[in-house]
Amino acid sequence: MPTANIVPTYYRVTWNGASPTDYNALLLDQSGGLDNTLPEKYNRLIKLAGTDGAVSVTQNHSIRINDVEVVFTANPSNLSDVITAINALTTEHKVIAFAYDTNYLGLQNAWGREGEPIWIAAGVGTALTDLGLTAGVSDTWPSVFGSASPTRPAAGEDIKFNGVTVTFGAGDVGTIAAVCAKINTQTPQHEIVAAPAGAGIQLTSVTGKPFTLANGVSGVVADLGFSAGNQGGTPLTYTQSLSKERATMRWDAVVFELGWLISPVFLGEITKTGNIIGTEPVTTLSWTVAYDRPSYLSTEDELTPGVQLTGANCIKRLIARALTQTYVGNQEIYDPTLTTTGNTCVRVNPSQIIQVTAAALDAVADIVTVEANITVTQIANV
């Protein structure tokens, strides 16, 4: 038996669900693509956004995220630099940075950490202010983001939050921050908290429940950047939730295959591109996997008997095998359907156990076609 290496061999893996073959366009039992996040986990993501749309952070200024200091070393750091610096420490602070509404800094839980509080604090210098962030903790869900630069209510106008009327005075409507502050004076009654986000407003339930926005006698919800009606985060529909469940069933199969020959000593550092709110398949799903006995990564090529696939080629084939099989199981499905009840709304049946089929994305005979959507690269100098 090979001796375990002191330093494991690491591989970076990327699944592209849309190219060269667009598996994300498949429907019914083949829908969903590949994803590691359950639909209810998408709904529990903690998110926030800064309010500075022209990010410029002085060199070596910093912020603290979940008590981990992030130092911005570029001179000065623009939005891209800031995102890179924050994401370089994701394994430490468990938060992902992204561009919100193009020009603003967005933060959310790292994948696998959905629902965990995000603590933000000032570090060295003025970075916190330069990013338009406020020190404190974000720890509630679900949340919804309104459109940029809403009209804002006029003085004397009213809007209903879970049936609770909020009337805005002259001092409550001059800025987005003032509007949010007014809404929050009645949070104990309507159980919603408002915060500036980008050039708009973020509304978040403080109880984990969906909520309802309604026009008042003189004010309209649209002035806040939202549509009147029930709000519950994403995914929005049972169909979206079911597709995401299929995606996670395939992920479980991929993880199983990656441990079929030898168990990995590490599997993580997951990143995604494309739709990351749970309403459609992600475009790419990337992760790092490591083995301390990489010589075990050897499997016979079923298309060319007698030929062994090793290393990165072996990993690629293991993943493709998982994606060319059909899985059937009794799954607990999250149902995001909202039902109006009085002045608010509820999820009458938020979870149910049903038999779900996650069909193969392609035929076994086309396993090489599936492999074309998979990139596996050994990480050098690790």
What CATH number has the domain bearing residue 227?
A: 3.30.70.2120
Please say which residue of 114, 140, 166 terminates a domain.
140
pLDDT tens sequence across 71-122: 999 999 999 999 999 999 999 999 999 999 999 999 999 999 999 999 999 9
Please say which residue of 231, 266, 296 terminates a domain.
231
Together in a domain, 59 and 130: yes
Residue 137 is predicted with a pLDDT of 97
Average pLDDT of the residues in 254-277: 97
Please say which residue of 187, 207, 231 terminates a domain.
231
- How many structural domains comprise the chain? 3
H/E stretch holding 258 = helix 238-258
pLDDT at 39 over 70: yes
pLDDT at 1 over 70: no
pLDDT tens sequence across 10-21: 999 999 999 999
Residue type, 368: V
- Whether 179 contacts 203, CB under 8 Å: no
Together in a domain, 239 and 179: no
Residue 7 is predicted with a pLDDT of 87
Q: pLDDT band for position 5 (50/70/90)?
A: confident
Query: Is 190 within a domain?
Result: yes
Closest CA to 361 of 330, 319, 333: 319
Query: Is 127 within a domain?
Result: yes
Residue 341 is predicted with a pLDDT of 93
Together in a domain, 191 and 325: no
Query: Is 4 within a domain?
Result: no
Query: Is 2 within a domain?
Result: no
pLDDT tens sequence across 43-69: 999 999 999 999 999 999 999 999 999
d(CA 233, CA 210) in angstroms, rounded, equals 8
Neighbours of 377 (CB within 10 A): 12
The residue range of the domain holding 334 is 9-39+235-378
Helix, strand and coil content of the chain, in percent to the nearest 5, comes to 25, 35, 45
Together in a domain, 246 and 373: yes
Show the tokens assigned to 317: 């084939």
Q: pLDDT band for position 381 (50/70/90)?
A: confident
Residue 150 is predicted with a pLDDT of 96
d(CA 176, CA 254) in angstroms, rounded, equals 45
Q: pLDDT band for position 346 (50/70/90)?
A: very high
pLDDT tens sequence across 273-294: 999 999 999 999 999 999 999 9
E strands along 50-179, which residues?
61-65, 68-72, 95-100, 104-109, 118-122, 136-138, 143-145, 158-161, 164-167
d(CA 186, CA 164) in angstroms, rounded, equals 8
Sign of CA dihedral 299, 301, 305, 308: negative
Together in a domain, 89 and 30: no
Sole residue written with tokens 């912020």? 63
Rounded to the nearest integer, the mean pLDDT of the chain is 97
pLDDT tens sequence across 110-169: 999 999 999 999 999 999 999 999 999 999 999 999 999 999 999 999 999 999 999 999
Query: Is 99 within a domain?
Result: yes
pLDDT above 70 covers a percentage of the chain that reads 99
pLDDT tens sequence across 330-342: 999 999 999 999 9
d(CA 240, CA 37) in angstroms, rounded, equals 13
DSSP per position, 15-66: EESSSSS-GGG--GGGTT---SS-HHHHHT--EEE-S-SS--B-TTEEEEET
Together in a domain, 16 and 106: no
What is the reported pTM?
0.94
Together in a domain, 351 and 241: yes
Together in a domain, 318 and 291: yes
Residue 2 is predicted with a pLDDT of 65
Query: Is 221 within a domain?
Result: yes
The torsion angles phi and psi of 9, rounded to 5 degrees, stand at -95, 125
The one-character DSSP state at 80 is H
d(CA 159, CA 214) in angstroms, rounded, equals 6
Residue 50: CB partners within 8 Å, gap ≥ 6? Answer: 100, 104, 105, 106, 131, 132, 133, 198
d(CA 326, CA 359) in angstroms, rounded, equals 4
Query: Is 3 within a domain?
Result: no
d(CA 112, CA 36) in angstroms, rounded, equals 8
- Whether 144 contacts 218, CB under 8 Å: no
